Amino acid sequence: MNKKLSICITTYNRSKILEATLTHNIIIAKKNSIPIYVNNNNSTDDTDYVLKKLKNKYKYLFPLTQSSNIGFDRNYEHCIKRSKSEYSWGMADYSYISKVSVEKILKIINKKDYDFVFMNNGNRIKENVKSEMTILDDVIMNIGWAITLLDTIVWSKKYIKKANFVRYYDSIFGYYGAMMESLTASSFKVYWFNESLVDSHHAGKKSIWLSDCLNTWLVKWPNLIMSLPYSIPIEKKFFLINEHNKKANIISFKNLLYLKVSGYLNQTIIKKNSTVYKSFLPLLNFMFLNLLNKIPNSPFHKRK
């Protein structure tokens, strides 16, 4: 079993997606005997059956089922802390790793002791960014918005041990808060892969925040960033908040319309925190949101 790198997956009630991605990832992990830890957060579907079936196909698959649903943040922390490897690559149940990802990561961490390894997901960042960073400003300004995705972060064991996960429980961004706070606490050295080594665009997946999109990205996300240590200047915090919301296209006209048509956006949701939304939405987007608010739900609402 490889002691340098492991894969750590959190899952809940997505057995079909988990089976597809895990089957794919096992083939790649096998080449280097990479252990795969899976934390099932007390799913009520047939996730346990899927994990038992795949366990028979790969001896270094280590599934665990929580006795109760402990929430996403706690489950993630528990999963990467189960790892016995020097580095742990946390990811979602819909994360597909590329065929060359494991070899490339192993090559980097065997060459030098990095505190974190970050990577592009689905080519989110188009321009080339310098590979080695030792200054927090560089992380924030160059890749901070893009490494919100779970599978873009490979943790060193020493940083897992000292990260303050508890402080960010129930934010659904606990991993990001703990990681960013860790980088403020001491000198560090991180590596960034410009090459896209992982992709999370599974056709059947729905993000855990989708049904609460506005509250997640215009309330919870800003709250999380604002709660980071004071050593991060306020202007950098605003930059992180707005850069993600702009570049991830979550609050674009197109996506706001999609949320309305899909039934994830209704008048009650829009009115609930409209004053806060205005603070983190471009004016035109906010006007469009108010326009959607005037449209009755029934002609659009397809979800039951």
pLDDT along the chain (304 residues), means of 10: 97 96 97 98 98 97 98 98 98 95 98 97 93 97 96 97 96 97 95 93 70 90 96 97 92 90 82 85 89 71 48
Residues 42 and 150 in one domain: yes
Assign residue 181 the CATH number of its domain. 3.90.550.10
Alpha carbons within 13 angstroms on the beta-carbon side of residue 245 total 28
Q: How many CB atoms lie within 10 A of CB 68?
A: 7
In a domain, 228, yes or no: yes
Rounded Cα–Cα distance for residues 245 and 264 (Å): 18
Q: Are residues 33 and 120 in the same domain?
A: yes
| pLDDT at position 304 | 42
DSSP symbols for 12-50: SS-HHHHHHHHHHHHHHHHTTT--EEEEE-S-SSSHHHH
**Residues 182 and 277 grouped into a single domain:** no
- Does residue 303 belong to any structural domain of this protein? no
Look at residue 102 in the predicted model and tell me its pLDDT: 98
What's the pLDDT at 175? 98
177 and 229 co-located in one domain: no
Is residue 204 in some structural domain?
no
| Residue 275 lies inside a defined structural domain of this protein | yes
Is residue 96 helix, strand or coil? strand
**Are residues 22 and 161 part of one domain?**
yes
State which of 147, 171, 199 marks the end of a domain: 199
* Nearest of 138, 157, 137, 95 to residue 120 by alpha carbon: 95
Beta bridge partners, 119, equal 193
For 183, the token pair is 């980088």
Domain boundary among the residues 151, 172, 199 is at 199
Q: Are residues 10 and 134 in the same domain?
A: yes
Are residues 215 and 195 part of one domain?
Answer: no
Task: Mark whether 173 and 28 lie in a shared domain.
Answer: yes
180: Cβ–Cβ under 8 A, 6 or more apart, which residues? 144, 228, 232
Q: Domain boundary at 177, 199, 221, which?
A: 199
Q: Residue 71, Cβ neighbours under 10 Å: how many?
A: 16
Q: Contact 185/116 with Cβ under 8 angstroms?
A: no
Boundaries of domain holding 55: 5-199
Whether residue 71 contacts residue 175, with contact meaning beta carbons closer than 8 Å, is answered with: no
Q: What angle do CA 124, 257, 285 make, to 5 degrees?
A: 75
Asked whether residue 300 is domain-assigned, the answer is: no
Whether residues 12 and 64 share a domain: the answer is: yes
Residues 248 and 180 in one domain: no
The values of phi and psi at residue 193, to 5°, are: -95, 115
- Give a yes or no: residue 301 inside a domain: no
- Residue 205 confidence (pLDDT): 67
Q: Is residue 302 part of a domain?
A: no
**Domain count within the chain:** 2
Same domain, 39 and 108: yes
CA atoms within 13 A on the CB side of 49: 7
The backbone torsions φ and ψ at residue 159, rounded to the nearest 5 degrees and listed phi first, read -80, -30
Asked if residue 189 and residue 141 are part of one domain, the reply reads yes
Q: Domain for residue 180, yes or no?
A: yes
